[in-house]
Amino acid sequence: MQDAPTNFDTDLFLPIIKEVEKLTKFHYDINNYFVKNPAQTKINTLFKIIADHIRASVNAIGDGVKPSNVGRGYIIRRLIRRSYRSGISLGIEEKAFLYKLVAAVKNSLIYDFDVNEVTKVIKEEEEIFAKTIQDGEKLLENELEKNGFIDAKTAFKMFDTYGFPIELTKEILKEKNIEINLNEFQEYLKKHQEKSRANTEVGMQKVINSLSLVPNKVSEFIGYDFLESKSKILYLLNEEEKIKQTTSDNDLSYLILDKTPFYATSGGQNHDFGYMLQNNNYIEVLDVFKDKFW
C-alpha cells in the first residue's frame, strides 16, 4: 500500500496527471484532499477524469477494442470524449493531446501492447471529436445569425445528431450573454432516454423484480468523492435472474455491490459508463439502475 490519500495519488495515476499538468496552466493539488478548496476540487476532478478515462481507454484499445457507436466501442468513445472535454475545461487548446498520455499509462500497466497503434487510435478519435466540435460551433453561429438565439430543441439536436456536448453549447452562449433553457433540454434528453430504453425495459424490470427479493441490497454511492473503489460483489444474477457464483466471457450479468462510484439513472440524468477489474478480468458496465422502491 502506498501512503497516499486516494488511488489517484499513487503511481497508478499520478504520472499521468503529471503529464496532463504539462499541457495546462492548472495544477493538481494532493493537499486539497485535506483542505477542501472548492475551486481546486473542481480542478482536481478534471485531472482525475482525464487520468482515469485515458487509462481505461488505453487498456481497452490495447486489448483490441476500437472507438465506435456500439457496445464496448461506444463506452471507449464516451470515455475519450469526456476526457477531451475535461481537457478543454482545463484550458488545453491543442487539437489533440490525449494521445500524448499513452506512454505514461503504459508505464503503470503490467502487460504489453502496441503503443504506436493505441496512440494512433486515440489521436484519430480526438481529431474526429475536434472536428465535431468545430462543425458544431459553425452550426451554432449559423443558428444565432438566423434567429438570434438557440432554443432547447436545437441544442438537443446538436447533442443527439452531431454529438456536440451541451456543456460547450452552454459555454459558447454564455460568452455571448445568451441563456438556454436547460430544463427544457433535459426534458428532450429524458424523452430520448426513455425511448432508447423501451426495447429493454421489460427484461430490465424482471431483473429489478428479482433483485427486490434480495436482502441487504443497498449499495453505498460514493461517486461524488471517488471515481473508483474496491467493492465487494454481494449478489450476481444472470439473464434468467438466477443467482450465480461466477461469470464468464461474454456473459450478460446483473450484480449488486456493497459500494459503487457509478451513478444510476435518476432524475433525468443518464447512468455512468465504465469498467470493473476482477482478477485481471475486464468487465464492462453497460447500465446502472435502481430498484424502483429505493
Look at residues 124, 186, 120, 196 and name the one whose alpha carbon lies nearest to residue 153.
Answer: 186
H-run or E-run covering 85: helix 71-89
Residues 6+ apart with CB under 8 A from 262: 223, 271, 272, 274, 285, 288
Do 124 and 210 lie in a common domain?
no
Long-range CB contacts (within 8 A, 24+) of 243-252? 247/283, 252/286
Residue 100 lies in a domain: yes
Write the pLDDT tens digit of every residue in 14-50: 999 999 999 999 999 999 888 889 999 999 999 999 9
Angle subtended at Cα 127 by Cα 277 and Cα 272, rounded to the nearest 5 degrees: 35
Do 18 and 137 lie in a common domain?
yes
Q: Parallel, antiparallel, or unpaired for β 254-257 and 233-237? A: antiparallel
- E strand segments, 120-264: 220-221, 233-237, 254-257, 259-260
Residue indicated by cell numbers 477531451: 84
Do 222 and 143 lie in a common domain?
no
Residue 6 lies in a domain: no
pTM as predicted: 0.62
Do 109 and 229 lie in a common domain?
no
174 has a pLDDT exceeding 50: yes
Residue 21 lies in a domain: yes
C-alpha cell of residue 62: 490495447
Is the CA virtual torsion 122, 89, 157, 196 positive or negative? positive
Question: Which of 148, 164, 195 is the C-terminal boundary of a domain?
Answer: 148
51 has a pLDDT exceeding 90: yes
C-alpha cell of residue 180: 438556454
Do 107 and 211 lie in a common domain?
no
Residue 61 lies in a domain: yes
Do 144 and 210 lie in a common domain?
no
Do 130 and 240 lie in a common domain?
no
Question: Which of 148, 164, 192 is the C-terminal boundary of a domain?
Answer: 148
Do 223 and 141 lie in a common domain?
no
Alpha-carbon span 233 to 135, nearest angstrom? 44
Residues 6+ apart with CB under 8 A from 166: 155, 156, 159, 182, 185
Residue 155 lies in a domain: no
Do 19 and 137 lie in a common domain?
yes
Alpha-carbon span 142 to 56, nearest angstrom? 37
Question: Which of 126, 148, 170 is the C-terminal boundary of a domain?
Answer: 148
Q: Domain total for the chain?
A: 2
Query: If pLDDT is split at 50, 70 and 90, which confidence band does 240 have?
Result: low
126 has a pLDDT exceeding 60: yes
72 has a pLDDT exceeding 90: no
Look at residues 127, 130, 102, 105 and name the one whose alpha carbon lies nearest to residue 116.
Answer: 102
Query: What percentage of the chain carries pLDDT values higher than 70?
Result: 81
Write the pLDDT tens digit of every residue in 163-173: 788 888 888 88
Residue indicated by cell numbers 476540487: 41
- E strand segments, 133-243: 220-221, 233-237
Question: 106 is in which domain, residue-wise?
Answer: 13-148
Residue indicated by cell numbers 461466477: 246
Query: What percentage of the chain carries pLDDT values higher than 90?
Result: 32
Contact indicator for 125, 77 with CB cutoff of 8 Å: yes
Residue 7 lies in a domain: no
148 has a pLDDT exceeding 50: yes
**For the CA atoms of the chain, what is the radius of gyration?**
20
Phi, psi angle pair for 238, to nearest 5°: -95, -175
Angle subtended at Cα 110 by Cα 222 and Cα 119, rounded to the nearest 5 degrees: 85
Do 144 and 220 lie in a common domain?
no
Do 137 and 257 lie in a common domain?
no
